[in-house]
Homo-oligomer: A and B are copies of this chain.
Amino acid sequence: MRTVDAPASGFPPVLLEHPATIRDVAHAAAVSVGTASKALNGQGKLRAETIERVRAAAAHLEYRPNDLMQSVLRKRTFTVGLLTTEGGRFTMPMLQGIEDVLATAHISVFLCLAVDNPDRERQHLDSLLAKHVDGIIVVGNITKRPPVDIGRSRTPVLYVFTYVHERNALSLLPDNEGGGALAAMHLVHGGRRRFAHITGPADWEAVRLRLEGMRASLAEYGLDLPTDHVLAGPWHPAWGFEAMHQLLDRDSAIDAVFCGNDEIASGAMDALRERGRHVPGDVAVVGFDNWEQFALATRPPLTSVDMDVYELGRRAGSRMLALMSGERESGIVRLPCRLVVRASSAPRPAGIGN
């Protein structure tokens, strides 16, 4: 038993200028290209000895079948385009989830970045179609203008973190409303009664949904979220800081703050400290995004809602595989968030408070 690519394989030590083709292999093995093809793909009936010879030749020449040709023949490229208008913190874990699933299925991914650049988006789209990708995943942000349309191409499209108004389009999104509800429920269970919400720009859909979820959840417990306890502003610690001060001016008895993201929560906690309010003794704080670098850097560590972006990416990958194999789903799918509980929202000690 010898290694196929050992010097003893009997082939001349030819190093081709260009990558070996199946013809080179066939020639080296002294068979026809048709036979070589069969030997390499295990098709048809060949003598074991022949197969071995071809395989050896291929190994010796470092032959790699040209995917491009195989794609042309099979009318499938086993590639998908990943078109994103986002370059933020969620993009990377998202990509990892998608890529993970697709790579496992031996699907390659074209990375198409088009942050704030519609022309580039159009260009990428054209390129993807010209490359005959088997599918396109559009990762976006709802507040921005809808992604350019794909025309009447048959290529399946999956929208993630965004959606288009069009029947038979399939979108994958985090369940922001559920996330808001999760936070509220947790705070209520922790014995909190006077709520406030500091969040991001009012025109973000996520902002609206998280608030709605919070409200709905509180309502179920017969609790109210006064309008003047909801403050919208930029996604920034400074805003959380300022807003928290405003809230305490309005109502010093607030005992629970749900923040639209972790940066805001971080700023809010700074303000609480400045005002001598203890977290979580006096006020419980819950953030959103579970951005670990932030959530773990606050003192105490921040309880936060996690959209599980990596998992969202994995689901996106799976759905894409389904679409590629002909399945035709549509609609908006929302994936649940989960709550990561840390010290900032520890239950108020029993018997204290109103």
Q: Which residues of A contact B (CB under 8 A)?
A: 15, 18-19, 62, 64-69, 71-72, 75, 77, 79, 82, 87-88, 91-93, 95-96, 99-100, 103, 106, 108-113, 115, 120, 123-124, 126-127, 129-132, 151-154, 237, 263, 266-267, 270, 293-294, 296-297, 299
Contacts and interface: CB of A to CB of B under 8 A. Distances in A.
How many identical subunits does the complex contain?
2
Contacts of A69: 72
B92 A130 contact: no
Given A92-B92, A127-B106, A297-B266, A62 B152 contact: yes
A96 B88 CA distance: 11
A213 B128 CA distance: 45
10 contacts: A15-B152, A18-B75, A62-B153, A64-B129, A67-B131, A88-B92, A96-B115, A110-B110, A110-B111, A263-B297
A87 B91 CA distance: 10
A185 to B, nearest CB: 29
Closest 6 pairs (CB-CB, A-B): A111-B111, A67-B130, A99-B113, A67-B131, A109-B111, A64-B130
Nearest to A263: B293
Contacts of A71: 68
Contacts of A296: 237
A106 B124 CA distance: 9
Contacts of A96: 87, 113, 115
A267 to B, nearest CB: 8
A129 B127 CA distance: 20
A27 to B, nearest CB: 19
A68 B132 contact: yes
Contacts of A130: 64-67
A291 B296 CA distance: 16
B129 A111 contact: no
A132 B21 CA distance: 12
B131 A108 contact: yes
A103 B127 CA distance: 10
Contacts of A18: 75, 154
A124 B109 CA distance: 11
Contact of A72 (B66, B103, B127, B237): B66
Contacts of A91: 92
